[in-house]
């Protein structure tokens, strides 16, 4: 079997994940190939500005990984010059929504570009005039990858293609071509804990349909003790124990509530998400409101006359330090409504103490929704989420129904085993690493070796870039002097 790794996210642990998979494939006698960028791409998800020293560091990491794998040089594929009709790239887009709609030969090129830009610059509504160069470079790169990927698939005829995530601009075109041609592909991502990774067959890690199936199948196949394992997810989250990502509540003051918290009124606590995390993913958007911010404003407007109801918005800690569109809009919403208290991303108010004190919890997809339901709170879910097919949530189908829920004396809904299913899935999803040993979120060793660029390599890469620029400058000056003489 021929297996092609179309790698783009060359950082730990994702590059080691591909090495992990490759080792076993090579042991089984399969032909393994990797694609290496040598700086041809105008932009990518780890180097949007095309800084040359970052390119060199990336190539150094890849070389280190190929050396450890013992990959034959002939099994490394490179991008080639391909003709591109640059006239098809619009010079101007009215909005990021318009960027998302750009397609080429049936491939949603614009969605990958928008997703990458939104994630990189942490803003779901980027100024398309200000970022017109980045948008142009992103589309150019995706088209370049699209044309190269066609040639690679034609020439190599792989049986399986493996790549990271599937939503980024330099990877998405390959995924769409595999879908079009019926070529088996797998996407990889972090698993439920840092000791694991996940592999999705002919799908992406954020496909809600596939995730719902995973949750059910995982529970059906789970061994004895699965209920306790499911509970552990929620207890560990509340106790600030790291699982697969940053613990955003680690610095909060346990038990703290906002000043003046009045238990004599109905307290509705809203938990939002950082829109840049989800806005660039197809299928993960609001059900009845286009964004969290719009939903928050509409709910407040509808219940502004109710002096017996007060809203608290716990801004997601992942928005700490940002001054993006979402944060600015929230600030404006806070100025408009007296029935709202905003708890900023940087504030140390305890997310869980606030949940305990809430009469109703409202989420748009945040994990706090499933956590609040587990801890016995009535939860109104207003958006698509990984858990929206499970029991335990009030899910309105209209804006009027959403408001009606909040005016009622809601009680927690029965959920059966569904919440435990979710907790079990979160902790158990994925495949344990055999050769990679994680030491932190972005650190680890592979077969006892690090593929990280050493300080010496980093310094050399920087000096090579600097020296090349000086040499080029010197040559230009010398040519000028020759012309004058």
Q: Looking at the structure, do residues 177 and 55 belong to the same domain, yes or no?
A: yes
Both 174 and 267 in one domain: the answer is no
Name 355's Cβ contacts closer than 8 Å, sequence gap at least 6.
269, 361, 368, 371, 372, 375, 377
Residue 9: predicted pLDDT: 85
Question: Within this chain, do residues 377 and 438 fall inside the same structural domain, yes or no?
Answer: no
Task: Report the CATH number that the domain containing residue 49 is assigned in CATH.
Answer: 3.40.50
Query: For residue 363, what are the domain limits?
Result: 246-416
CA–CA dist 278, 263 (Å, integer) = 34
Same domain, 322 and 367: yes
CA-CA-CA-CA dihedral for 347, 427, 217, 197, to nearest 10: 100
- What three-state secondary structure class fits 442? coil
Neighbouring-strand partners of residue 347: none
Instruction: Provide the pLDDT for residue 453.
Output: 80
**Which residues contact residue 397 at a Cβ distance below 8 angstroms, ignoring those fewer than 6 apart?**
287, 288
Q: Does one domain contain both 209 and 353?
A: no
Please indicate, yes or no, whether residues 207 and 93 belong to a single structural domain of this protein: yes
Whether 483 is in a domain gets the answer: no
412/448 same-domain check: no
Task: Say which residues have a Cβ less than 8 Å from residue 291's Cβ, sequence separation at least 6.
Answer: 124, 275, 279, 285
* CATH number for position 337: 3.40.50.2000
* Same-domain pairing of 444 and 392: no
Are residues 280 and 209 both part of a single domain? no
Domain count along the chain: 2
Instruction: Say yes or no: 209 and 62 in one domain.
Output: yes
- Within-domain flag for 256: yes
Q: What is the pLDDT of residues 319-370, one digit of tens each?
A: 999 999 999 999 999 999 999 999 999 999 999 999 999 999 999 999 999 9
Indicate whether 251 and 286 sit together in one domain: yes
On the 0-12 / 13-18 / 19+ scale of CB atoms within 10 A, 318 is: middle
| Predicted TM-score (pTM) of this structure | 0.89
Q: Does a structural domain hold residue 231?
A: no
Below-70 pLDDT ranges, the chain: 280, 282-286, 457-458, 461-462, 464-485
Give residue for tokens 């809430």.
358
Residue 36 falls inside a structural domain: yes
Same domain, 29 and 101: yes
Instruction: Report the alpha-carbon distance of residue 424 to residue 406 in Å, rounded.
Output: 30
User: What percentage of the chain has pLDDT greater than the value 70?
Assistant: 93
- Determine the Cα–Cα distance for residues 395 and 411; give it in Å rounded to an integer: 14
Q: What percent of the chain has pLDDT over 90?
A: 83
pLDDT at 8: 82
pLDDT of residue 251: 82
């Amino acid at each position: 079997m021929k297996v092609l790794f179309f790698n783009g996210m060359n950082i730990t642990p994702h590059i080691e994940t591909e090495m992990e998979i490759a080792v076993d494939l090579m042991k089984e006698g399969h032909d393994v190939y990797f694609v290496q960028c040598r700086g041809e791409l105008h932009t990518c998800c780890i180097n949007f500005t095309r800084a040359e020293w970052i390119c060199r560091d990336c190539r150094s990491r890849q070389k280190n990984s190929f050396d450890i794998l013992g990959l034959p040089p002939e099994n490394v594929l490179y991008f080639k010059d391909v003709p591109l009709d640059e006239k098809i790239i619009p010079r101007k887009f009215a909005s990021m929504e318009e960027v998302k709609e750009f397609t080429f030969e049936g491939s949603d090129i614009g969605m990958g570009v928008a997703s990458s830009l939104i994630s990189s610059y942490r803003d779901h509504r980027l100024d398309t005039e200000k970022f017109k160069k980045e948008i142009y470079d992103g589309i150019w790169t995706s088209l370049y990858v699209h044309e190269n990927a066609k040639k690679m698939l034609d020439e190599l005829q792989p049986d399986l293609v493996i790549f990271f995530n599937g939503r980024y601009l330099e990877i998405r075109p390959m995924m769409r071509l595999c879908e079009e041609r019926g070529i088996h592909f797998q996407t990889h991502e972090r698993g439920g804990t840092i000791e694991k990774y996940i592999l999705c067959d002919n799908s992406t890690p954020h496909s809600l349909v596939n995730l719902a199936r995973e949750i059910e199948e995982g529970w059906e196949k789970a061994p004895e003790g699965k209920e306790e394992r499911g509970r552990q997810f929620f207890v560990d989250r509340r106790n600030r124990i790291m699982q697969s990502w940053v613990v955003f509540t680690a610095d909060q003051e346990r038990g703290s509530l906002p000043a003046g918290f009045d238990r004599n009124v109905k307290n509705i606590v809203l938990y939002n998400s950082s829109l840049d995390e989800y806005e660039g993913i197809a299928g993960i958007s609001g059900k009845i409101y286009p964004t969290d911010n719009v939903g928050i404003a509409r709910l407040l407007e509808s219940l502004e006359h109710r002096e017996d109801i007060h809203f608290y918005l716990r801004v997601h800690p992942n928005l700490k330090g940002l001054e993006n569109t979402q944060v600015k809009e929230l600030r404006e919403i806070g100025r408009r409504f007296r029935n709202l208290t905003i708890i900023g991303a940087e504030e140390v108010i305890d997310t869980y103490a606030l949940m305990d004190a809430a009469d109703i919890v409202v989420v748009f997809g945040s994990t706090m929704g499933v956590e609040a339901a587990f801890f016995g709170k009535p939860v109104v879910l207003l958006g698509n989420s990984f858990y929206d097919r499970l029991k335990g949530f009030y899910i309105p189908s209209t804006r009027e129904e959403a408001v009606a829920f909040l005016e009622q004396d809601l009680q927690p809904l029965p959920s059966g085993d569904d919440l435990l299913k979710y907790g079990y899935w979160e902790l158990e999803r994925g495949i344990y690493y055999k050769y990679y040993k994680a030491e932190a979120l972005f650190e680890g060793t592979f077969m006892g070796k690090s593929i990280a660029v050493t300080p010496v390599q980093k310094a050399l890469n920087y000096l090579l870039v600097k020296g090349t620029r000086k040499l080029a400058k010197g040559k230009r000056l010398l040519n000028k002097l020759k012309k004058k003489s």
